Structure 1
C-alpha cells in the first residue's frame, strides 16, 4: 500500500499567496516593470467580473510584468532567491512539523498547487519535497512565455493532474492511502477523493463544507 500526503501550497504551507509576491520580486530588479504591477489591476478586474478565468488571469499578469518572453536563466535566478525568502520566513511552522510527521509515518510527500511550476519547484526543493504537481509553464528557445502549457492546476483540474501523476508513477488508486491538505474550497473535489481530508486554516466556505463532510480542521501557526 502506497501512502501519499498531498499538500496544496498557497495559504496551506505558506502563510500568504505567492504569485503576486513572485511578480513583485521579478519587478524589483527591473524598475521598468514596476508600473506593470499596477496595470495588473485591469486583468484582476476582468476576473472579478467573470470576464476571464483564473488561467487567463495568470497569463495576462505574467505578460504584463514579465513580458512576452523572459530569459529562463533570469527566471531561475529570481525563483531561487524568491524560494529562499518564502521558505525562510513565510512557511507555517506547523506545516513543516506536519510534513516531517507524514514522512516519519512513511508517507510520500507531494505538493499539488495551482501556482506556476517554475517557482514552485525551488520552494518544494527547499522543503525537501521532490514530487511536484503544479500549473505547467511554457518554455521555448530558452524563454518563459506567458502561456500555460496545459491546464491550470485548480479545482477539478488539480484532481485530474494528481490522477495523471499517479498513473505516470505507477500508483493505482486502489493501492494507495491518500491524505490531502488544503485551505480553499476550490480543492473540494480532491478533498472528497482523498482517504483523509484536512481543511487547513480554512476560509468560511471550506469551513462550512468541512463541518458538513466531517473533514478534520487544522489551525496552523
Structure 2
C-alpha cells in the first residue's frame, strides 16, 4: 500500500489555519475577547525572538482569545462550521484534484500538520480524510484547555509522530509519499525517502524549492500560498 501524507497549511490550503481559526472563534463564539487581541503582542514578540516555541505561542493564543476552558460540544460544533468555510474557500482546486487522484489509485490519505487537531479533524472530514496526525490539545474529560498535550507536530516532532502512526497502524513497511510546502518538514521528506517512497515539494518556499532542486525531488505547484509572518524558511 502507498500512504500519501499531506501537510495542510499552504500545501492544501492557500493560507495557514491557526490565525483564521482564532479570528473565526472571536467572530462567532466570543466577540468580547477582541479586547484581548493587543495582549498577543507579548507572546508574538517572545516567539519572534525565540524565547518561546510554536507550541507555547499557540497555547497563549488559545488562552487569550478562546479562554482557559471550552466545552467539547462547543469546540466541535464551531470546528465543523470553520472547516466548511476553509474547505470551500481556501483549499486549492489542484489540491482537491490531487487528493481525488490519490484516493482513486488506492492510496491511504493522511493529514500531518502542526495545526490543532480539534479543527484539523473537521477539515479532514470535509476532505474525506479520516487519518489525522496533528498537534493534540489538552482535554480533561470534555473540557479543552489551552496547552498542548504533546510536542507541537512540527519539524522533527512531526516525523516522529508520522513514524509512530505508521507503526501503530501496521504500515511500517508501507511506501510513503510526503507532500509539504516548507523546509521545516525536511525530516518527514527524508522519512519518506528512507521507506522507498517519494518526497514531493508542493508550492515550495524558496528554501524548500532550492533543497528539492538539489536533491532531485518532484516539485508541484497547486497554487500561490499567502505569505505568513510565522514562517522562517
TM-score bucket (shorter structure): over 0.9
Q: Which residue of 2 aligns with 1:139?
A: 139
2:141 & 2:176 partners in 1: Cα distance?
Answer: 38
TM-score normalised over the length of structure 1? 0.96
1:76-118 CA-partner distances (Å, limit 9, x unpaired): 1111110000011110001110011111112100000000000
Gaps of 5+ in 2: 224-233
1:101 & 1:148 partners in 2: Cα distance?
Answer: 34
1:43-95 CA-partner distances (Å, limit 9, x unpaired): 11110101101111111111111111112211111111100000111100011
1:167-205 CA-partner distances (Å, limit 9, x unpaired): 111112xx2111110001100111122121111111111
2:61 & 2:118 partners in 1: Cα distance?
Answer: 15
Q: Which residue of 1 aligns with 2:228?
A: none
Bigger shift: residues 15-24 or 211-220: 211-220
Q: Which residue of 2 aligns with 1:55?
A: 55
Gaps of 5+ in 1: none
Q: 1:38 deviation in Å?
A: 3.3
Q: Which residue of 1 aligns with 2:215?
A: 213
1:78 & 1:41 partners in 2: Cα distance?
Answer: 26
Q: 1:37 deviation in Å?
A: 2.8
Query: Are 1:28 and 2:30 counterparts?
Result: no
Q: 1:24 deviation in Å?
A: 0.6
Matches within 5 A, 1:25-174: 25-29=24-28, 30-172=30-172
> Contact 1:24–1:37 (CA<8 Å) still a contact in 2?
no
**Match of 1:134, SS?**
strand
Q: 1:142 deviation in Å?
A: 2.0
Q: Which residue of 1 aligns with 2:229?
A: none
| Structure 1 outlier segments of 4+, above 3 Å | none
**Match of 1:5, SS?**
strand
Q: 1:34 deviation in Å?
A: 1.1
1:165 & 1:40 partners in 2: Cα distance?
Answer: 34
> Contact 1:116–1:136 (CA<8 Å) still a contact in 2?
yes
1:71 & 1:189 partners in 2: Cα distance?
Answer: 35
Aligned residues: 218
**Match of 1:112, SS?**
strand
